[in-house]
Structure 1
Amino acid sequence: MSYSRDELDEMVRRWVVENERAEAAGDWRPLADMYTEDATYGWNYGPTQEFMAVGREEIRELALGQEMAGLEGWTYPYQEFVIDEQRGAVIGFWKQINERTRADGRHYSPEGIGGSWFRYGGDYQWSWQRDFFDFGNVSALFVDMITDNALSEGMQKRISRSVSKEPLPGWYRIGESPVPLW
């Protein structure tokens, strides 16, 4: 389904504004209102795991709640958007930047490219989102932050949760999520 370029540009503008609000509040859950009721949101996390939230409320509680917990103080400034109005597809490239700095004054931030691929569902809501990022660079950054004792208490809890043997809602072995990643 095609959409007007003006409508998609306005969606992107609204999305950026709401992301900035979420970053300032350290709470991304209100962004769920920008998804259709039946939207899906997922990403790959290395060679064995992927994440998938199905429906607006899972997106709110899992993708934007559980998975963003501990990332307070991080910002995700968008660098560029690519918009295909014929397909209602948007790709946004972002950086991930921590508020803390290294000894040389640079903010902790993974190298590589991060981004989100969206499908527009009309009425200023996304119907689908898939994130992508350089898993190796993200892992290396967290090792640096651990080594430099630069993790916030929330990040320490997040890492402890991730390495526990308790399964987390929304996490699946590759290819086993309720909705295909791609």
Structure 2
Amino acid sequence: MAFDRSELHKMKDSWEQANIDVEKAGDWRPLSEFYTQDATYGWNYGPQWDFMAIGRDEIRDFAIGFEMDGLDGWTYPYQSWVIDEHTGDMIGLWKQVFAGHRTDGTRYALEGIQGSWFKYAGDFKFGWQRDFFDYGNVTALYTEMLGAGDATNGMKMRIDRVLNAAKDRKPLPGWYKLGTAPVPFW
């Protein structure tokens, strides 16, 4: 299904502004309004786990709620977009950056390429989103911040939540063993 290119650019601009607004507020949940009722949103969590939220409620509560809780002070500025009006595919490349600095003055930021692949569904809504980032680099960065004493209390609580779930062998909401998510990734 083809889309008007100007509509896709308006969607991108609205999405970027909404991201800036929710980052300032420290609550990403309002972004759920950008998804269809039956949208899906997922990403890979390394060699054992995938994450998948199914439907707008799970996207709000799990993907941009529970999974983002504790990441106050982080921003995800978009660096570039690739937009295909013939398919509705929109790929936004972003950088994950923390407000704090290392002792040498450099910012904590995730290295490598990070991004989101969206499928536009029309009516200024996404039908699905798939994020990609280097989980090894995330782990290394968070470990560095913990070791330097620069992780926020929210980050520490978020990390503890994941570690406790792993210890108890109970997946967190939306976490699925690799390859078992109820909807396909691609």
Structure 2: gaps of 5 or more residues: none
Structure 1 partner of 2:184:
180
Q: TM (normalized to structure 2)? A: 0.96
Corresponding residue pairs, total: 182
Structure 2 partner of 1:17:
17
Counterpart CA distance in 1 for 2:84 and 2:157 is 39
Structure 2 partner of 1:61:
61
Structure 1 residue 52 displacement after superposition: 0.2
1:93-104 equivalent positions in 2, closer than 5 A: 93-104=93-104
Structure 1 partner of 2:147:
147
Choose between structure 1 and 2: higher strand proportion: 2
Counterpart of 1:157, as a letter, is M
Structure 1 residue 137 displacement after superposition: 1.1
Counterpart CA distance in 1 for 2:115 and 2:171 is 26
Structure 2 partner of 1:71:
71
Structure 2 partner of 1:47:
47
Runs in 1 of length 4+ with deviation above 6 angstroms? none
Identity across the alignment (%)? 55
Structure 1 residue 167 displacement after superposition: 2.3
Counterpart CA distance in 2 for 1:73 and 1:142 is 14
Counterpart of 1:171, as a letter, is W
Secondary structure of the 2:33 match is helix
The answer to whether residue 171 in structure 2 is matched with residue 167 in structure 1 is yes
The answer to whether residue 81 in structure 2 is matched with residue 81 in structure 1 is yes
Structure 1: gaps of 5 or more residues: none
Structure 2 partner of 1:6:
6
Q: Deviations over 1:96-151 (max 9, x none)?
A: 00111001111111110100000001010100000000111111101110110111
Secondary structure of the 1:65 match is helix
Counterpart CA distance in 2 for 1:179 and 1:125 is 19
Root-mean-square deviation (CA), in Å? 0.7
Secondary structure of the 1:72 match is coil
